[in-house]
Amino acid sequence: MNVRRYLTPLSVLILVIGSSWSIANDGAANDGAANDGTANDGTAPEVTDLNAKDVSMQWEKNIPYLQKPYFSTQPQDMNDDIPVGTLGLDGGDRELILAFANEVAKEPNKDRKDKTDSLLISHKGKLIFELYSRRGRQNVPHFQMSITKSYTAFALGRAIQLGYLKMEDLGNPVIDYLKDLDRSRLVEGADKVTLEEALNMHSGVKLVREKIMKYREHPELLEGQKQIQAYFEDSQPIPPAPREFGYKAADPAMIMQVLEAVVPGSAEKFIRKELMGKLGITEYAWQKDTSGLPKSAAGSSFRSRDMLKIGMLIRDKGKWKGEQIIPQAFIQRAISPVSNAYGANDYGYFCWHRILKNGEQEYPSIELRGALGQFTFVFPEQDLIVVATAHGVMSMLKDIPVRIIPAFGKQGEQ
């Protein structure tokens, strides 16, 4: 299935009118856990006529809310290489989790402004809780904002595992891999920006507003490696390292361009075959950037269960089904607090690292985060993975240390 393109607004309208949104198991809570949900066959709600290439942020707005939220404390084995278990029996306080799930899924809820669409919890390697509410569907990829940066980093890690780069190459200048650049026109310091600095948001690239507007009006100036030419040519002079943390689209774009330059074929095909394909992730979408490459700062779409697979890859130190997909050294560096971004937020390779707190309790947290609510959290001490998606405001960042982690005791003791 081709999942790289999206429907036009007209074809979205035709789809909505023509299909009347065929939905299976529209919101029954399969274990009677919430809203007096009636029993069903245990399958989560789906859009039955979905083609993953149809999905975009705008497309998602047309998905009707489920009539009732779907809860499962014993998720179904979907033959997708995700082990499943039972909440309570395989860890976690069932009543605490269900009480929280009822709260976030309630609609309308005057006490909460967030709009949670899905919530998945994996403990000790088993998926033990699954929730879909509002626009959430088990088979619908959710549009991903900045969490796309994390996937871009892992794609580069996959290239290292296959020998197209080495770990020590991360200390090399980005421009060494981009042969189409006109070095004579680059600003001072551009030749010193390394791959690792880009992965850690320390390139130092800064564009003034008039330069940005020029490229918005003439996107053809950003095709291919001209995208990086523009960043390095029109940036203010780049100071020597160490530079300040700067969260911007330029840095992941550099990594995607290097990936395109070093792997056989294209970055898009490499990601599809060698990263997502290895994880059994096939129903996803990834928009093209103005450069013609996959977008790297935001623009992918993944199902909640597939987001969990990325969390499992982190948990298992880059291994999937016993095979080393990404070097352990790269994964460790990616999820480590390489530098401080701001406040309590540390940063690795396009991944966040924080210490969450609940009273005197502290929980080291590895976080893949996207604006408006796409999160994959990995808590090593609790052997816990939490995946959440939402539209609009989401307070899950504050809820997890108070409402979810305490249900699993200390350091995975349950």
Could you give all domains of the chain from N- to C-terminal order, each with its CATH number?
9-140+321-408 (no CATH), 147-302 (3.40.710.10)
In whole angstroms, what is the distance from residue 327 CA to residue 324 CA? 7
| β 345-347/352-358 pair status | antiparallel
DSSP state letter for 401: I
53 or 157, higher pLDDT = 157
Q: Is residue 1 over pLDDT 50?
A: no
- Structure confidence at residue 93 as a pLDDT band (50, 70, 90): very high
Task: Quick: pLDDT tens for 15-29.
Answer: 232 223 333 444 444
Convert 75-123 into a string of H (helix), E (strand) and C (coil): CCCCCCCCCECCCECCECCHHHHHHHHHHHHCCCCCCCCCCEEEEEEEE
In this predicted structure, which of 106-115, 214-223, 269-278, 329-338 has the lowest mean pLDDT?
106-115
Distances in whole angstroms, Cα of residue 226 to Cα of each of 186, 251, 295: 12, 15, 15
Quote the pLDDT of residue 231: 95
Place of tokens 């190459």: 169
160 close to 167: Cβ distance less than 8 angstroms: yes
Quote the pLDDT of residue 110: 76
- At what angle are helices 226-234 and 250-262 packed, to 10 degrees? 140
> Torsion angle of alpha carbons 187, 193, 195, 196, nearest 10°?
-150
Quote the pLDDT of residue 388: 95
Structure token digits, residue 315 = 């948990």
User: Mean pLDDT across the stretch 194-214?
Assistant: 91
Q: Is the peptide bond before 219 cis (omega within 30 degrees of 0)?
A: no
- Structure confidence at residue 55 as a pLDDT band (50, 70, 90): low
In this predicted structure, which of 215-219, 274-278, 410-414 has the lowest mean pLDDT?
410-414
User: Mean pLDDT across the stretch 2-8?
Assistant: 34
- Structure confidence at residue 45 as a pLDDT band (50, 70, 90): low
Quote the pLDDT of residue 215: 84
Task: Quick: pLDDT tens for 377-407.
Answer: 999 999 999 999 998 766 788 899 999 999 9
Going by C-alpha positions, the residue among 275, 350, 353 that lies closest to residue 313 is: 275
CA angle 57, 58, 59 (to 5 degrees): 90
3-state DSSP: the chain helix, strand, coil percent, rounded to 5? Answer: 35, 20, 45
Quote the pLDDT of residue 61: 80
- H-helix segments, 113-249: 147-161, 195-199, 209-217, 226-234
**With pLDDT > 70 as the criterion, what percentage of the chain qualifies?**
85
Q: Is residue 2 over pLDDT 80?
A: no
User: Mean pLDDT across the stretch 362-371?
Assistant: 95
- Structure confidence at residue 48 as a pLDDT band (50, 70, 90): very low
- The model's pTM is 0.88
| Residue type, position 157, single letter | G
Structure token digits, residue 112 = 């909460």
Which residues lie below 8 Å from residue 23, measured CB to CB, with a gap of 6+? Answer: 45, 46, 47, 48, 64, 66, 137
Quote the pLDDT of residue 53: 55
Structure token digits, residue 294 = 């996959």
Residue 219 CB neighbours (<10 A): 12
Quote the pLDDT of residue 56: 62
User: Mean pLDDT across the stretch 104-110?
Assistant: 83
Quote the pLDDT of residue 217: 86
Task: Quick: pLDDT tens for 261-308.
Answer: 999 999 999 999 999 999 999 999 999 999 999 999 999 999 999 999
Q: Is residue 129 over pLDDT 80?
A: yes
